[in-house]
C-alpha cells in the first residue's frame, strides 16, 4: 500500500549526488579507451551519452516504483510485490550476484592498489592484508549510517576529482587533432565496433542499488532524489568524456591494438601515456587517483548491498540491526578477497549481464506495474510508455550483445 508521507530533514543535494557520482566513477573507467578504440572518439561519446540517458531513466523508474512503499523498502519488497515471486527471485539473484561480486572486486582492487602504493614507498605489504583492512574500514563507515557514507564519499570524490585533473589535465594540453580525428588512418571503419562498447558503457553507469538508499536518506522527496541522480550521472559522463578526449587525443588509434594485446590493464595504458608526455610524475599521480577511485566506488557499492540485504532479511536500522546487516554484507566477499585476492578483472566481467537484468529491464517493468496499480501519485518518469519501451529495448540489446560477444560473433578491433 502506498505511503504518501514526505516528512524528512532538509539535506543537501550535493551529498546524494556525491554518493551516485562516487559509485559510478571507479577504476573501471581506465578500461574505456581500450575497449572503445575500435569505435574511436565520436562514436564512443555517442554511445556513452545514449547509455547515460537510458541508465538515468532506469534509475528514475526505480525511484518511481519505490516511492509507493515505506521508506527502507528495497528491491526485494518492491519487485516481489509488483512483479511476483519469479521475477523477484531472478532479480534477487542478479542483484546479490552483482553487488557481492563488485564488493569482492573492490576488496581485491583495494588490496592491489594499497600494495602498489606501499611498494612505491619501499614498504612490503600483502594484498590480502590491504584488502582486509580496507574492507573493515568501509564496513565501519557503512555501519555508522548513510550520512557517514555520504560525507566520506564527498571527501573522497572531491579528492578524486582533484587527482583526476592533476593526473590527466596535462593530457588536454597535448591533444593532437591528427590523433583525435584519426586522420592518418586510410579508410578507417568505426561502426562495426560500436555495439561491442555498449555493455562496457552500461557497466560504467551502475548506481541503481543506491536509489533506495537515497530514499532512506532524503525520505519521500522525489524532486531532491531526481536532482541527485541527474547531477551524479552527469558528473560521471563529463569525466568520462574528458578522459576519452585526453587518451584518444594523445595515443594514436593503432597503438591501442598493442595496449589491448598486453592485457589493457591500467599500468600498460599509463606507460603509453608516460612515454608520450615524458613525465615521471604521472605514475605517482595515477597511484593517488587509483586509491581514491577504488575507495569511492567501494563505499557506494557496499551501501547499495547493505540496504538490499537489510530489506531482504528484515534487519532494522538500529545499531544492532545494522551490525547484523554489516556481517552479512562483508563477511562473504572478505573471505573471497583473502582466498583469491587477484580477481578484480574477472569479477567485473562476470557482473555485466546480471546488471542488465536488475539495473535496466526490471526497473522498466516495475515502473509499468507501479503505474497500473498505484498511478504513481508522488512521481512519474516523463515519456510515458515510450520511455519504458526504450529502456527495455536498451536492456535487451545489451543482453544480446553480451551473448554475441561471449560467442565471438562481434567484430573486434585488431
Cα 340 versus chain centre, distance: 22
DSSP 8-state assignment for residue 360: I
Question: Dihedral through CA 413, CA 276, CA 171, CA 39, nearest 10?
Answer: -10
Is residue 165 situated within a structural domain?
yes
Is residue 414 situated within a structural domain?
no
Phi, psi of 412 (to 5 degrees): -120, 135
Dihedral sign computed on CA atoms, order 387, 411, 263, 185 = negative
Distance (Å, whole) CA 337 – CA 294: 15
| Structural domain boundaries, residue 151 | 13-407
For residue 377, count CB atoms less than 10 angstroms from its CB and return exposed for 0-12, middle for 13-18, buried for 19 or more.
exposed
Is residue 8 situated within a structural domain?
no
Is residue 380 situated within a structural domain?
yes
Q: Which three cell numbers stand for residue 248?
A: 584518444
CATH number of the domain at 64, please: 1.20.1740.10
pLDDT number for residue 82: 94
Is residue 112 situated within a structural domain?
yes
User: What is the DSSP annotation of 241-255?
Assistant: HHHHHHHHTTS-TTH
Is residue 6 situated within a structural domain?
no
**Helical spans, DSSP H, in 37-145:** 40-66, 75-83, 85-120, 127-144
Nearest alpha-carbon partner for 244 in 22, 401, 39, 106: 39
pLDDT number for residue 300: 78
Nearest alpha-carbon partner for 126 in 110, 137, 139: 110
pLDDT number for residue 7: 45
Is residue 332 situated within a structural domain?
yes
For residue 10, count CB atoms less than 10 angstroms from its CB and return exposed for 0-12, middle for 13-18, buried for 19 or more.
exposed
Cβ neighbours around 171 below 10 Å, total: 22
pLDDT number for residue 298: 82
The count of domains in the chain is 1
- Low pLDDT (below 50) residues in the chain: 1-8
Is residue 78 situated within a structural domain?
yes
Q: Which long-range contacts (CB under 8 A, 24 or more apart) does 384-393 make?
A: 387/57, 388/61, 388/364, 390/54, 390/57, 391/54, 391/57, 391/58, 391/61, 391/360, 391/363, 391/364, 392/360, 392/361, 392/364, 392/365
Amino acid at each position: 500500500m502506498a505511503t504518501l508521507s514526505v516528512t524528512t530533514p532538509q539535506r543537501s543535494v550535493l551529498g546524494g549526488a556525491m554518493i551516485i557520482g562516487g559509485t559510478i566513477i571507479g577504476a573501471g573507467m581506465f578500461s574505456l579507451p581500450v575497449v572503445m578504440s575500435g569505435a574511436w572518439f565520436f562514436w564512443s561519446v555517442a554511445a556513452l551519452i545514449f547509455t547515460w540517458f537510458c541508465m538515468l531513466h532506469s534509475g528514475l523508474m526505480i525511484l518511481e516504483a519505490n516511492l509507493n512503499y515505506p521508506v527502507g523498502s528495497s528491491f526485494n519488497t518492491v519487485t516481489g510485490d509488483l512483479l511476483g515471486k519469479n521475477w523477484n527471485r531472478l532479480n534477487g539473484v542478479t542483484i546479490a550476484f552483482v553487488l557481492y561480486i563488485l564488493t569482492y572486486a573492490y576488496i581485491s582492487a583495494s588490496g592491489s592498489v594499497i600494495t602498489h602504493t606501499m611498494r612505491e614507498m619501499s614498504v612490503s605489504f600483502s594484498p590480502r592484508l590491504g584488502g582486509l583492512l580496507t574492507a573493515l574500514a568501509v564496513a565501519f563507515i557503512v555501519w555508522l549510517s548513510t550520512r557517514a557514507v555520504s560525507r566520506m564519499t564527498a571527501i573522497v570524490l572531491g579528492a578524486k576529482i582533484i587527482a583526476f585533473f592533476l593526473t590527466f589535465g596535462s593530457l588536454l594540453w597535448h591533444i593532437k587533432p591528427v590523433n583525435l580525428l584519426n586522420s592518418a588512418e586510410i579508410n578507417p571503419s568505426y561502426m562495426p565496433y560500436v555495439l561491442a562498447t555498449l555493455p562496457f558503457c552500461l557497466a560504467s553507469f551502475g548506481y541503481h542499488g543506491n536509489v533506495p538508499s537515497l530514499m532512506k536518506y532524503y525520505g519521500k522527496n522525489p524532486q531532491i532524489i531526481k536532482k541527485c541522480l541527474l547531477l551524479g550521472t552527469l558528473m560521471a559522463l563529463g569525466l568520462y568524456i574528458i578522459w576519452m578526449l585526453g587518451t584518444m587525443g594523445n595515443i594514436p588509434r593503432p597503438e591501442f591494438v598493442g595496449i589491448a594485446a598486453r592485457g589493457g590493464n591500467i599500468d600498460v595504458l599509463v606507460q603509453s601515456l608516460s612515454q608520450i608526455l615524458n613525465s615521471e610524475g604521472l605514475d605517482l599521480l595515477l597511484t593517488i587517483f587509483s586509491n581514491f577511485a577504488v575507495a569511492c566506488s567501494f563505499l557506494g557499492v557496499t551501501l547499495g548491498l547493505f540496504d538490499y540485504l537489510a530489506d531482504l532479511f528484515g534487519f532494522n536500522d538500529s545499531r544492532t540491526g545494522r551490525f547484523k546487516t554489516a556481517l552479512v554484507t562483508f563477511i562473504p566477499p572478505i573471505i573471497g578477497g583473502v582466498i583469491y585476492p587477484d580477481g578484480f578483472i574477472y569479477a567485473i566481467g562476470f557482473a555485466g549481464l546480471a546488471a542488465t537484468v536488475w539495473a535496466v529491464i526490471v526497473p522498466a517493468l516495475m515502473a509499468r506495474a507501479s503505474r497500473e496499480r498505484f498511478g504513481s501519485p508522488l512521481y512519474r518518469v516523463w515519456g510515458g510508455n515510450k520511455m519504458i519501451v526504450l529502456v527495455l529495448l536498451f536492456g535487451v540489446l545489451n543482453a544480446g550483445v553480451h551473448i554475441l560477444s561471449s560467442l565471438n560473433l562481434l567484430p573486434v578491433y585488431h
